Copies of this chain bind each other. A is one copy, B any other.
Amino acid sequence: MASILKFFLPKDRVFYTLFESASGNLEKIARKLVMVVNEPDYNKRAVIIKEMEDLEHQNDLLTHTIFLELGKNFITPFDREDIHSLATALDDIADYIYAAGKKINFYKIDPTVDSGIQKTADAIEQAVLAVNQAVIELRNLKNTQKIVECVIKINSIENSADDLFDLSIEKLFDSDVDAKELIKKREIYQVMETVTDKCEDAGNVIESIVVKYA
C-alpha cells in the first residue's frame, strides 16, 4: 500500500521519507542509551552499545542517501542547503548519542549508580522525540504551531540538561570521589549534554525552514 502511494507521490517527497527515517532512527538510538544507563552489567551494556553503533551506521547511510538524492533531484521541498543542514544536524545527534554510550563503557563508569546520567539519558530521549515530531510536521509547513511547540520543548529540555550537568558536577564535588573519577564522569556528562545542544541545533534548522517557507 505504502509503495503504491509512493508511486504517485511527487518525487521531492522522498526527502520527507528519508528525514523521517533518520529522525525515527534517532528515537531508537536514544532508547538504547536509556537501556545502557539502566544496565549494571558491563558486558550486557557492551551488547547494547554495539546495537547503537549499528543504528548510528544506518543514520550515516541515510545521510549519504539524502545527499545522493540531492544530486539527482532538481526539485526539492525546500532549499538544497536547508536539506543539507537538517541532514547534518540529525546525523550529529546520532553521533553524539552513540558517543555517550561508547564513553560509558570506555571509561568503565557504572551508570546505574549515577542519577545525573540516568536523568540526562531520559532528557535526551524526550528531546529526540520532540525532534522526530518536528521532522514529521515538516510535511505540513503551513501548520507551524505544532513545529514551534516542538522547538520550544527541545529548547526547554536543553535548559534542563544544562542544570542536570551543573547538579551532577556539584554532587560529585560533595562526594569523596577522586579527581580522576570526577574527570571521567564530567566527560560523560559533557557528551550527554552536547546531545541536547545538537537537538537544539536541529530545532534551530527546522525553525529556520519554517520561518522561510511558512
Contact = CB atoms under 8 A, between A and B. Distances in A.
Interface in A146-193: 148, 162, 166, 169-170, 173, 178-180, 182-184, 186-187
Nearest to A172: B180
Nearest to A174: B180
A207 interface: yes
Please state the number of chain copies in the assembly: 3
A118 interface: no
Given A182-B180, A184-B173, A211 B67 contact: yes
A42 interface: no
A146 to B, nearest CB: 14
A166 B81 contact: no
Interface in A67-85: 67, 70-71, 80-81, 83-85
Chain A residues touching B, majority SS? helix
Contact of A99 (B162, B183, B211): B162
Contacts of A102: 166
A180 B173 contact: yes
A81 B212 contact: yes
Interface residues of A, number: 35
A17 interface: no
Nearest to A151: B67
A99 B99 CA distance: 25
Contact of A186 (B148, B183, B207): B183
**Top 3 A-B pairs, shortest CB-CB distance:** A179-B179, A84-B208, A84-B211
20 contacts: A67-B207, A71-B144, A71-B214, A80-B211, A81-B208, A83-B211, A84-B204, A84-B208, A85-B208, A103-B166, A106-B166, A106-B170, A107-B169, A107-B170, A169-B187, A173-B183, A173-B184, A179-B182, A179-B183, A182-B183
Interface of A: 67, 70-71, 80-81, 83-85, 88, 99, 102-103, 106-107, 144, 148, 162, 166, 169-170, 173, 178-180, 182-184, 186-187, 204, 207-208, 211-212, 214
